[in-house]
A and B are shown apart, each in its own frame.
Chain A
Amino acid sequence: MSGIVEVDGLAKRYDGGFEALKGVDLSIREGEILALLGPNGAGKTTLISTICGITVPTDGAVRVGGHDVVRDFRAARRMIGLVPQEINLEPFEKVRDTVAFSRGLFGAPRDDAKVAAVLEALSLTDKAGSQIKELSGGMKRRVLIAKALSHDPKVLFLDEPTAGVDVELRRGMWEVVAELKRRGVTIILTTHYIEEAEAIADRIAVISKGRILLVEEKDALMARMGRKEMVLELSEPLDALPPALRASGLALGADGSSLRYVYDVHAERTGITRLLSDLQAAGIRVRDVTTRQSSLEEIFTGLVDHDAREAAE
C-alpha cells in the first residue's frame, strides 16, 4: 500500500550549487506522526518546502494523496497545511481575518463557524478580534497553526513547531498535535529537539546532509539501538578497580563511590549476573542500583557521527 505522501528520489540543488537534498525517498503513512529529525542545515525545511510547492525540485517526484505536487498541484496542495518555522504574519490583520484568509486561499468556502471552531481548538477565541501585533510569540505560533488547519488539511507539516517556545507551551503544542492525530490528520514535524520526537512521534526519520539515514518505528528504533547503563552505588569508596574486575567493562566513578556498566538490552548475555557475582567475590558491597535507557539523542548523535565518518573516508 502506498502512503499518503510519497517522496521519490527527490533532489534539490540551489542556484549557488548547494545540494540541499540528494535523492530523498520517503513514504508517509496515513494518520501517523512522523518526526523528521536532523541537525541544522540537514535539509528538513527544504524537504518540506519542496513538498508544499515553495521550492522547485531539481529531480524526483512527490505525490500527496496520489496527486503529483507539480503536475496536479491544486489537488495536492488542497490536502496540505503548512506551519512554517518563522513566525510570518501580517501584523495589522485581525486573528479571525487571517484565518479566514487562509481558508479562502485554499479554496474552501467562507465558513465563520469553522474559523471560530479552529480558534477555539487553539485557545485563541478571546483573541479573535485582536490584531496580530498585540499577541505574544506563543499565540502567534498558534495563529500559524490555526491558519494551516483552516481548510481541514489531511496532511499537516509542522516545521520546528516548538523552536524557541517555553516548556509549558511546548507541552500544549504536543497536546494539539495529539488531538489532530486523533482526528485522523497525518502529521509531519521537523525538529532538532529529540525529546519532542521521543514524546509524540510514531515513526522517526533521521535526515543529515540531504539524505535520509533511516526511517523506523520510534519504539523499535529505541529498542534496537537502545543501550542501557547501570550505575552501582558502593557502600565503601574504592581507590581503584580490583584486578579481578578489570576485564568486565566496569568503570569506576570519579570519586570512587560508584561503578558504571554499559550493556546492550538485546544481547544474548547482558553480563549482569556474572558482574554481580564477581562483585560479591571481590567483597564489594553495593548500596543502590539504577539503570537508564539511552535516549534517542544518543542514538541520533551516534548515527549522524557515523554518517559523517563514512563520508570522510
Chain B
Amino acid sequence: MNWSAVAAIYRFEMARFFRTITQSLVSPVLSTSLYFVVFGAAIGSRIDQVEGVPYGAFIVPGLIMLTVLTQATSNASFGIYFPKFIGTMYEILSAPIGYVEIVLGYVGAAATKALFIGVIILVTSFFFVDMTILHPLVMVAFLILTCVSFALLGFIIGIWAKNFEQLQLVPLLVITPLVFLGGSFYSISMLPPFWQGVTLFNPVVYLVSGFRWSFFGTADVPVAISLVAIAAFLGIMLAVTAWIFRTGWRLKQ
C-alpha cells in the first residue's frame, strides 16, 4: 500500500477545491438559500406541515442530499476526467500504485468536498428554520455513505466520459431528475398510489427517506431498508470500479 501516493492525490484534489474556494462554496450556499426562499417561504407558507414537520424544516434533508449527490458526482467525475483530458494521466498510470490508492485518493477527496459542502448547507439552514436532529450519528453515517458512493459513481462517469458533454450528461439527465423525483421536496405519501409504486424504483428515495428519518424520526420507507439500499449501491459502485481497473477499460491500451 502506497500511502504517500494516496496523500499526494488527495492533497492535489483538495488544493483544486481550495484554489477555487469561492465558486466551490458560494454557489451551493447561494442556490440552497434560494431554495429556502422559494420552497420554504413562498410555497411552504401554503403547505404548513408535512407529517408533523414544518415544511421549511422538512425540505432541509432533501436539499442537503440534492447538493451532496450532485457535488460528489461532479467533483469525482471532473477529478479523474481532467488528467485524462490534459494528459497528466500518464503519471498516475506509471506510478507504483494500484487501483486502491487511485480510488482512495480521488474518491476520498471528492467525498470530502461533498461532505464539506453538505455541512455548510446544514449550517446555513439553521439560519432559515428551527429544527433539532434526532439521530445525529445516523445522520452523519448517511451523509458519509452518500458522499462516498456517489463520488464512486462520479469516478466511473469520469473514466467513461470521452468529452466534456458526456461528463455533464449523466449528472444532468439522471441525477438531477432522480433527486427531484426522489421525495426531496415532498413526502412520497403525497403522491397518487401508482406513482408511489414507481417511486420505489428510484434509489434516491431511500437515501432521502433515511436521511430525513435521522432528522425528524419520520420516513417514507423503513430506515433499515434505506441503509441496505445505500450499502447495496456502494457495493455495486465498488464492483464496477474494481472491474474498470482490472481490465484497464478506457484507461490503458
A positions within 8 Å CB-CB of B = 14-15, 52-56, 73-78, 80, 82, 84, 86, 88-93, 97, 100-110, 147
Contact = CB atoms under 8 A, between A and B. Distances in A.
A75 B94 contact: no
Nearest to A78: B96
Contacts of B95: 77, 105-106
A104 B5 contact: yes
A250 B170 CA distance: 74
Contact of A108 (B4, B19, B93): B4
A143 B87 CA distance: 15
A80 to B, nearest CB: 7
B96 A77 contact: yes
Interface in B231-253: 248, 252-253
B93 A53 contact: yes
B43 interface: no
Contacts of B42: none
Given A52-B94, A84-B90, 8 more contacts: A55-B253, A82-B94, A91-B86, A97-B12, A101-B12, A102-B91, A105-B95, A108-B4
Given A55-B252, A104-B7, A74 B2 contact: yes
A110 B92 CA distance: 18
**Most chain-A CB neighbours within 10 Å: which of B82, B96, B252?**
B96
B8 interface: yes
Contacts of A105: 4-5, 8-9, 91-92, 95, 97
27 contacts: A52-B94, A53-B93, A53-B94, A54-B252, A74-B97, A76-B96, A78-B96, A80-B94, A82-B94, A88-B86, A88-B91, A89-B86, A90-B83, A90-B86, A92-B16, A92-B19, A97-B12, A97-B15, A100-B8, A101-B11, A104-B4, A104-B7, A105-B91, A106-B96, A107-B5, A108-B4, A110-B4
Closest 3 CB pairs of A and B: A104-B8, A88-B87, A77-B96
The interface centre, meaning the residue of B83, B87, B94, B98 with most chain A CB atoms within 10 A of its CB, is B94
A198 B4 CA distance: 40
A232 B91 CA distance: 55
B22 interface: no
Given A78-B96, A105-B97, A56 B252 contact: yes
Nearest to A104: B8
B101 to A, nearest CB: 9
A107 B96 CA distance: 7
Contacts of B86: 88-91
Interface in B1-42: 2, 4-5, 7-9, 11-12, 15-16, 19
Interface centre among A73, A74, A104 (most CB of B within 10 A): A104
Interface of chain B: mostly helix, strand, loop or mixed: helix
Q: Chain B interface residue count: which class?
A: 20 to 34
B132 interface: no
A133 B24 CA distance: 22
Contacts of A14: 253
A75 B96 contact: yes
Nearest to B15: A97
B108 to A, nearest CB: 14
A49 to B, nearest CB: 8
B96 A82 contact: no
Contacts of B15: 93, 97
Interface string B169-202: 0000000000000000000000000000000000
Contacts of A100: 8
A106 B88 contact: no
Nearest to B2: A107
Contacts of A104: 4-5, 7-8, 11
A54 B4 contact: no
B7 A89 contact: no
Nearest to A81: B94
Contacts of A74: 2, 96-98
Contacts of A97: 12, 15
A54 B248 CA distance: 10
Nearest to A53: B94
A164 to B, nearest CB: 16
Contacts of A82: 90-91, 94
A79 B41 CA distance: 62
Contacts of A75: 96
Interface in B90-149: 90-98
Contacts of A147: 91
A56 B87 contact: no
B222 to A, nearest CB: 45
A54 B88 contact: no
A108 B252 CA distance: 25
B229 to A, nearest CB: 36
